[in-house]
Amino acid sequence: MKVYKDDEFSEYQDKATSLALGTFDGLHRGHQKVIKKARNNARCSDLAAGIFSFVPHPRRVLNQEEGPRVICSQRQKKEILQEIGLDYYFCQEFTEEFSRMNFKDFIAGILCDELKSGQLVVGKDFTFGHRGEGTSQDLKKMGRYLDFEVKIVSPLRIKGKKISSTRIRKLISEGRVGKIPPLLGRKFALAGRVVHGSGRGHEIGFPTANLELEADYVRPKKGVYAGYVVHEEKEYRSIANFGRNPTFSEEDFRVEIHILDLKEDRDFYGSRLEFTPVEFIREEQKFDSVEGLKETIKSDILYTKKIL
Ligand SMILES: Cc1cc2nc3c(=O)[nH]c(=O)nc-3n(C[C@H](O)[C@H](O)[C@H](O)COP(=O)(O)O)c2cc1C
Ligand SMILES: Nc1ncnc2c1ncn2[C@@H]1O[C@H](COP(=O)(O)OP(=O)(O)OP(=O)(O)O)[C@@H](O)[C@H]1O
């Protein structure tokens, strides 16, 4: 799959495209339905299969209050799209200037002229333009005079409720991580590089890999989680603490992972790890003594070994 950023769109030379259009943060099962439709239609009609996506989330730029943080990083997004089997990922930086562009100019100038879009695939509730007033039906009408087809995909629901990125973000921030995989259609994982912490973990007998996250992820509820770490395609049972280490009055939000089942002391500094939280175990606590913290971590580990 080839990635084109907006300043490279005019270099696109391949055949006409079938494009899935949207923000697609998280690439959940509803998104996958839209994207796979674009891919399958492309295969049937000798078109190139692609996604046209906005980064960062438009609400991050348009809203006065803080817009949403992300469910997956750009790197994770590219890996998933590659797996789906797309030919192209067209990545539009969503800026204030871009938001002022007339939607018809965007469709005609960028999607039709530069990216040779013969077909656009969107979800039924896709909206566009000023305050999202344009609907998927309006897009269909535009297609009639600009000469592209519009395919509209019905919403994918689970137990009657539409799958959406907003719903998944809420589960993450409430620590209800076990409910996420059926919506995402895969594991949810936070990825980053291992950086130096305060060096205290070794002293208390539970060394931790501190992650510098590779995206501005939605923050999981603070506390301790059982889960899995993937490092160089190998999976390890792990236990993680997301929070500020109140026992030691740290200021910054940290993601620290204690990896179980390691045969010897390993140095992960600089490595990329992905952590998948499987179950929220408990809230982060402020302990009166380091002994209290150590005893509690021991029982967290026993519990983790039991459930994983
Ligand atoms: C499983 C686990 C649970 C933890 N729970 C808490 C906690 O409840 N309160 C707290 O202040 N710190 C907690 N910590 C964080 C430790 O305080 C932290 O790992 C230690 O200070 C090492 O920090 P360092 O990686 O910066 O050296 C926990 C760490 C782990 C691995
Ligand atoms: N559950 C779903 N089923 C089918 N299509 C969907 C579903 N959710 C979103 N889509 C479509 O996928 C494209 C990208 O959607 P977008 O990223 O805006 O979705 P979202 O998950 O509702 O995000 P958010 O919750 O952040 O608004 C749009 O065309 C949208 O209509």
**Best mutation site among 281, 297, 307 for ligand 1, i.e. most ligand atoms within 8 A of its Cβ?**
297
The token pair that represents 223 in the structure block: 């506390």
**pLDDT one digit per residue (tens) for the chain, 308 residues:** 999 999 999 999 999 999 999 999 999 999 999 999 999 999 999 999 999 999 998 888 887 567 789 999 999 999 999 999 999 999 999 999 998 888 889 999 999 999 999 999 999 999 887 777 788 998 999 999 899 999 999 999 999 999 999 999 999 999 999 999 999 999 999 999 999 988 888 889 999 999 999 999 999 999 999 999 999 999 999 999 999 888 888 778 899 999 998 887 788 999 999 999 999 999 999 999 999 999 999 999 999 999 99
53-111 per-position pLDDT tens digit? 999 988 888 875 677 899 999 999 999 999 999 999 999 999 999 988 888 899 999 99
> Complex ipTM, two decimals?
0.89
- Range(s) of the domain holding residue 256: 189-307
Mean pLDDT of the residues in the chain: 94
**Best mutation site among 23, 77, 119, 150 for ligand 2, i.e. most ligand atoms within 8 A of its Cβ?**
23
- Tell me: do 207 and 259 sit in the same domain: yes
Separation CA 45–CA 53 (nearest Å): 22
Distance 271 CA to ligand 1 centre (A): 20
- Kindly state whether residue 179 falls inside one of the protein's structural domains: no
- Number of domains the chain contains: 2
Minimal CA–CA distance to 247: which of 176, 215, 295, 211?
A: 295
- Tell me: do 298 and 255 sit in the same domain: yes
- Tell me: do 119 and 204 sit in the same domain: no
304 alpha carbon, closest ligand: 1
- Tell me: do 119 and 200 sit in the same domain: no
In this structure, the number of other CB atoms found within 10 A of the CB of residue 47 comes to 22
The token pair that represents 221 in the structure block: 């509820």
- Kindly state whether residue 250 falls inside one of the protein's structural domains: yes
H or E stretch covering 200: helix 200-204
Peptide bond preceding 56 in cis form (omega within 30 of 0): yes
- Kindly state whether residue 177 falls inside one of the protein's structural domains: no
The token pair that represents 68 in the structure block: 């949403």
Does 275 contact ligand 2 (Cβ within 6 A)? Answer: no
- Tell me: do 157 and 218 sit in the same domain: no
Distance 127 CA to ligand 2 centre (A): 10
CATH number of the domain within which 67 lies: 3.40.50.620
- Tell me: do 30 and 154 sit in the same domain: yes
